[in-house]
């Protein structure tokens, strides 16, 4: 029997650490990150694969007599404090095939917006493939949504691409392919409002889950 790969999802912040905050809308990064991460976990566990084509399907609910394709773990499943060191130690201890940390971005102004994915600057080809796969499927999943800017103009969610990073703690201290997904700017009211909706969170989660599956499931 083939041993299933383990995936570690990391909802950013939590507990006394709210992360970025939009006080105008009373939104906190820690809450959005947890909601999206929990949905990613469900989609990964409910996913199925066509044995002929190899195509993955994201199911809304768990099919009957379903056998998961992956083991899924989370660094936190509630609004609790978890240090960066504890997150990395947990992922390393379960020999995770990949580590995906989910965050909301923020900027001092209110105009910056878009989705970006980061990988370790000196990371492996597997890290690069994971980052590109997750980003590609995420952008595809949210392309029909509309974000309204401060000036009233509207557009689809913007891709800020895949970047290399050498400062994020979790990228430096995990031993498996690791990425940080910034799902949007909580400082941009239009994008923040969208990120607070279940429909958009589900779309983000579907994209991230598909990207993980195509990068890691065997």
* 122-144 tens-digit pLDDT: 878 999 999 999 999 999 999 99
* Alpha carbons 77 and 74: distance in angstroms, whole number: 6
Split at pLDDT 50, 70, 90, the class of 217 is confident
Residue 197: CB atoms within 10 Å? 11
* Alpha carbons 138 and 200: distance in angstroms, whole number: 11
Which whole number is the average pLDDT over 42-63? 94
Which whole number is the average pLDDT over 57-73? 93
pTM: 0.96
Q: Which residue has the tokens 């970006």?
A: 116
User: 185-204 pLDDT, tens per residue?
Assistant: 999 999 999 999 999 999 99
Q: Are 99 and 176 in contact (CB under 8 A)?
A: yes
Checking DSSP bridges between strand 27-28 and strand 21-22, what pairing results, if any? antiparallel
Q: How far apart are the first and last CA of the chain?
A: 13
Percentage of the residues of the chain whose pLDDT score is greater than 70: 99
Q: Which of 100, 63, 80 is nearest to 179 (CA)?
A: 100
Q: Output the pLDDT for position 35.
A: 98
User: 74-87 pLDDT, tens per residue?
Assistant: 999 999 999 999 99
Q: Output the pLDDT for position 109.
A: 85
Q: Please say if the pLDDT value at position 2 is more than 70.
A: no
Q: Output phi, psi for 24, to 5 deg.
A: -65, -35
Q: Output the pLDDT for position 218.
A: 59
Which whole number is the average pLDDT over 149-162? 96
Q: Please say if the pLDDT value at position 1 is more than 50.
A: no
Which residues contact residue 95 at a Cβ distance below 8 angstroms, ignoring those fewer than 6 apart? 6, 176
Alpha-helical segments (H) within 1-93: 29-46, 84-93
Q: Output the pLDDT for position 3.
A: 74
User: What 3-state DSSP class applies to 22?
Assistant: strand
């Amino acid at each position: 029997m083939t041993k299933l790969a383990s995936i570690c999802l990391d909802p950013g912040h939590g507990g006394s650490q709210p992360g970025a905050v939009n006080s105008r809308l009373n939104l906190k990064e820690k809450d959005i990150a947890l909601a999206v991460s929990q949905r990613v976990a469900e989609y990964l566990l409910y996913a199925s694969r066509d044995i002929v084509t190899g195509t993955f399907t994201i199911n809304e609910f768990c099919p009957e007599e379903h056998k998961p394709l992956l083991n899924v773990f989370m660094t936190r499943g509630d609004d609790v404090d978890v240090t960066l060191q504890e997150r990395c130690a947990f992922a390393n201890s379960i020999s995770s095939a990949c580590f995906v940390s989910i965050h909301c971005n923020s900027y001092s102004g209110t105009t910056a917006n878009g989705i970006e994915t980061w990988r370790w600057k000196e990371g492996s080809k597997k890290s690069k493939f994971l980052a590109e796969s997750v980003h590609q499927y995420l952008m595809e999943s949210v392309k029909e949504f509309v974000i309204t800017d401060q000036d009233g103009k509207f557009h689809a969610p913007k891709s800020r691409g895949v970047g290399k990073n050498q400062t994020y703690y979790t990228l430096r201290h995990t031993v498996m392919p690791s990425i940080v997904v910034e799902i949007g700017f909580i400082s941009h009211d239009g994008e923040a409002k969208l990120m607070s909706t279940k429909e958009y969170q589900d779309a983000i989660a579907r994209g991230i889950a598909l990207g993980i599956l195509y990068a890691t499931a065997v």
